[in-house]
């Protein structure tokens, strides 16, 4: 079906032409079916301003989801995806492989600002998402192999087709160490003192690929490993993940069958370790988006197949040991960048008392305690995270509390007065109960580290209703080629 003006409600598989609008949170663009006031369509594999043929993938009350399956008028920001599995019906791991590097930064900036405008009421917000340094892998101690051979990146059969055969898609453009060409450059720590963890980006492709240090491959019923389709548990068998760390790509995991596993997880740490574990059939959680949520959890214990049970990570001037199944930032430069940003925003002073909420292995608690020399309380609900924090922070004045953050605050496992608070909640955000408890404790400053701009905006709105102001916000492209964004917001009591 190609005519948008039809009497019957659309169904999955229907096709129609659309002109694509602005990007929206979730890795898609917004279009309207039937004119300016028509039904909303969230379109993947498209870019603002393009005229496309869209195919409906989901029908909901009030809106549709669709894929761009033919591009009639391509955007100048459209590029050929380097991965042959990045197309409608293909791997759902990357949302933006069809978008040039600098345009990805503009896309994500628009999303952050729209969420702040709409959900937090910050009409003057003008956040620029900036690129992280290029991920330069630290060589493994036993690494004697060469990088994997390059594959033919020719498009898959289901990729959006450009209808004009004379249209040549531009190559990916180089990206500087700041925002896109239309915005100011924001300095980002290079991490040069962490044994090659990162260097300043000098090539768009180098920045966008090979950064993902933790990958969870799903396994289908035939034992073939791969990644999931978008919004589906359907496994797409692949033979390479282009955004995976080179040390992960070197492994033969995708060439093997895994009849006894639901998932295979692999870590390439900044300390040079490579570890692989499997989750036995029927005993692990369904594979999900470990970019944000961290490793899966299930009823059974994962089986370590290769490497150490605790991998070494380097960040904030310290050497960390983190369980393979524990949480750590996925981009090699993210931990260094985020800790430096938090310290710069909070400006911790000697003697100040601090909280690190949702503290994980203790990354932020370490920098707070180092700068203040005073009592720092870390709250974490994961047993693996608590164990790692207690081990890694044994030399610092840090108390580690094993509890959910809302429970710890309600039951006074952490108590005021407090000067500084860092919170790094899951993608659902902290929520009103936690925000109200933080505000009631009266800190002089709060650094909110967020992996979801909508949740961040909702919590900022709650802080503002309680007499806090958002003083500053910075956003980083910690997940190139995907829709995900990491932000750090500074909130202080209103003057």
Closest C-alpha to 385, from 295, 274, 456: 295
Picking from 495, 381, 410, 485, the residue whose alpha carbon sits closest to that of residue 445 is: 495
Q: Where are the beta strands (DSSP E) in 139-183?
A: 161-162
Taking Cα atoms as reference points, which of 270, 276, 263 lies closest to residue 308?
A: 276
Cβ-in-10-Å burial (0-12, 13-18, 19+) of 100 comes to: buried
Distance CA 129, CA 185 (A): 10
Cis peptide before 400 (omega within 30 of 0): no
Strand 63-73 relative to strand 161-162: parallel, antiparallel, unpaired?
parallel
Rounded to an integer, what distance in angstroms lies between the CA atom of residue 237 and that of residue 351?
A: 54
Catalytic residue, candidates 29, 241, 451, 478: 451
Does 451 qualify as catalytic in the annotation?
yes
Query: Of 308, 292, 291, 300, which is closest to residue 262 (Cα–Cα)?
Result: 300
Beta strands in 13-136 (DSSP E): 15-19, 23-24, 28-33, 39-44, 51-60, 63-73, 129-131, 134-135
Long-range contacts of 399-406 (CB under 8 A, 24+ apart): 399/375, 400/359, 400/362, 401/377, 403/379, 405/357, 405/358, 405/379, 405/381, 405/430, 405/434, 406/431, 406/433, 406/434, 406/437
Classify burial at 85, counting beta carbons within 10 Å of its beta carbon; exposed 0-12, middle 13-18, buried 19 or more: buried
DSSP string over 315-333: ETTEEEEEETTS---SSTT
d(CA 197, CA 408): 35
How many helices (H) and strands (E) would you count in the chain?
10, 25
Catalytic residue set: 451
């Amino acid at each position: 079906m190609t005519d948008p003006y039809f009497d019957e409600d659309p169904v999955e598989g229907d096709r129609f032409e659309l002109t694509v609008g602005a990007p929206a949170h979730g890795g898609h663009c917004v279009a309207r079916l039937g004119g300016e006031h028509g039904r909303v369509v969230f379109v993947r594999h498209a870019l603002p301003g393009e005229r496309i043929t869209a195919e409906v993938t989901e029908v909901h009350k009030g809106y549709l989801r669709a894929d761009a399956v033919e591009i009639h008028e391509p955007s100048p920001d459209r590029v050929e995806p380097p991965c042959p599995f990045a197309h409608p019906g293909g791997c759902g791991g990357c949302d933006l492989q069809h978008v040039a590097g600098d345009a990805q930064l503009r896309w994500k900036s628009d999303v952050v600002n729209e969420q702040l405008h709409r959900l937090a009421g910050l009409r003057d917000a003008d956040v620029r998402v900036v690129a992280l340094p290029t991920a330069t892998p630290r060589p493994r101690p036993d690494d004697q192999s060469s990088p994997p051979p390059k594959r033919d990146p020719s498009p898959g059969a289901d990729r959006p087709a450009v209808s004009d055969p004379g249209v040549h898609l531009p190559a990916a453009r180089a990206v500087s160490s700041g925002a896109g060409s239309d915005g100011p450059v924001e300095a980002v720590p290079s991490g040069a003192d962490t044994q090659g963890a990162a260097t300043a980006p000098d090539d768009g492709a180098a920045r966008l690929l090979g950064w993902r240090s933790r990958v969870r491959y799903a396994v289908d019923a035939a034992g073939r490993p791969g990644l999931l389709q978008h919004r589906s548990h359907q496994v797409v068998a692949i033979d390479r993940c282009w955004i995976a760390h080179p040390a992960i790509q070197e492994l033969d995991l995708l060439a093997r069958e895994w009849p006894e596993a639901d998932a295979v997880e692999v870590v390439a740490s900044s300390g040079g370790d490579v570890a692989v574990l499997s989750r036995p059939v029927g005993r692990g959680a369904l594979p999900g988006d470990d970019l944000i949520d961290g490793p899966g959890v299930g009823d059974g214990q994962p089986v370590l197949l290769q490497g150490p049970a605790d991998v070494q990570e380097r960040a904030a001037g310290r050497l960390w040991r983190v369980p393979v199944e524990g949480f750590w930032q996925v981009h090699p430069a993210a931990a260094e960048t985020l800790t430096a940003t938090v310290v710069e925003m909070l400006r911790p002073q000697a003697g100040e008392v601090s909280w690190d909420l949702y503290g994980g292995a203790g990354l932020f608690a370490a920098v707070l305690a180092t700068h203040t020399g005073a009592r720092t309380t870390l709250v974490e609900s994961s047993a693996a995270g608590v164990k790692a924090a207690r081990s890694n922070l044994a030399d610092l004045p840090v108390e580690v509390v094993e509890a959910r953050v809302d429970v710890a605050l309600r039951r006074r496992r952490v108590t005021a007065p407090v000067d500084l608070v860092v919170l790094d909640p899951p993608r659902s955000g902290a929520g009103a109960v936690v925000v109200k408890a933080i505000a009631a404790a009266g800190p002089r400053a709060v650094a909110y580290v967020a992996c979801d701009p909508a949740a961040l905006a909702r919590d900022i709105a709650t802080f503002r209703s309680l007499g806090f102001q958002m003083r500053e916000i910075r956003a980083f492209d910690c997940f190139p080629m995907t829709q995900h964004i990491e932000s750090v917001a500074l909130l202080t009591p209103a003057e």
